[in-house]
Amino acid sequence: MPHAPRRGRSGQQRARRQGILRAATDLARGGGFEAVQMREVAESAGVALGTLYRYFPSKIHLLVAVLQDQLRLLHGTLDADPPHGPGAGARVAETLMRAFHAMRDEPHLASAMVRALTSADRSVRAEVDTVLEITSGIVLDAMKAGGAPTPAQLSAVRVIEHTWFSLLISWLSGRTTIETVGTDLKTVCRLAEAHPANRETSEGAQ
């Protein structure tokens, strides 16, 4: 059964959905992926189990939606306090390290969200696409891309995103260190310098 459509939700439906996300986030924060049981989420959110499944057909759908929610919160904090690096690459690296540190501070939550993302099948494609869209927006904002991004910029953003998620997975599994994460992010974020944002390009031409 498909989840409730994003458009046309009433205020009550939006509030109910946010309550479900908060309940799932709290459970994941306390005990990771295994702690998020649909019945417990429903009880914590104060909704019927059937209602929960109408919004989120599975735990994977739910936790990917939690990841969307966390990325939107991060995006909001970056709007309030944008990165101040001297170039696009430095700003993107700073932004993604902030995101990484936020994940590091909530290891159980981070592990649950990333496990859901890597376990997602075709039925969760729309939700995963939204995660990537939000992440792309965060990176493009750090690049200060003015107007529509070029194909080269979008390609650079995709490579940067894939590297960031891969580093996060490696760190969560204990295969890499925070220092290596920082070094590798600085390396891949140089792609943002290779494909400068439109705004910076136009300013340099003046």
Neighbours of 187 (CB within 10 A): 12
How many other β-carbons are positioned within 10 Å of the β-carbon of residue 167? 22
Q: What's the whole-model pTM score?
A: 0.85
Domain ranges of the chain: 58-205
pLDDT for 125-166, tens place per residue? Answer: 999 999 999 999 999 999 885 678 889 889 999 999 999 999
**CATH for 58-205, among 1.10.357.10, 1.20.1260.10, 2.40.110.10, 1.20.58.760?**
1.10.357.10
Pick the closest to residue 99 from 179, 164, 25 (CA basis): 164
Record the tokens describing residue 82, joined without a space.
């944008």
Rounded CA separation 42/40 (Å): 5
Mean pLDDT confidence for 44-48: 97
User: Which spans in the chain are helix H?
Assistant: 11-31, 38-45, 49-55, 59-80, 88-105, 107-119, 125-143, 151-172, 178-188, 190-194, 198-205
Average pLDDT estimate for 35-46:
97
CA-to-CA separations, 121 to 25, 60, 63, in angstroms, rounded? 21, 9, 13
Tokens 């990165």 locate to 83
Band (pLDDT 50/70/90 cuts) for residue 4 is: very low
Each residue of 98-133: pLDDT tens digit?
999 988 899 999 999 999 999 999 999 999 999 999
- Three-state DSSP class for residue 148: coil
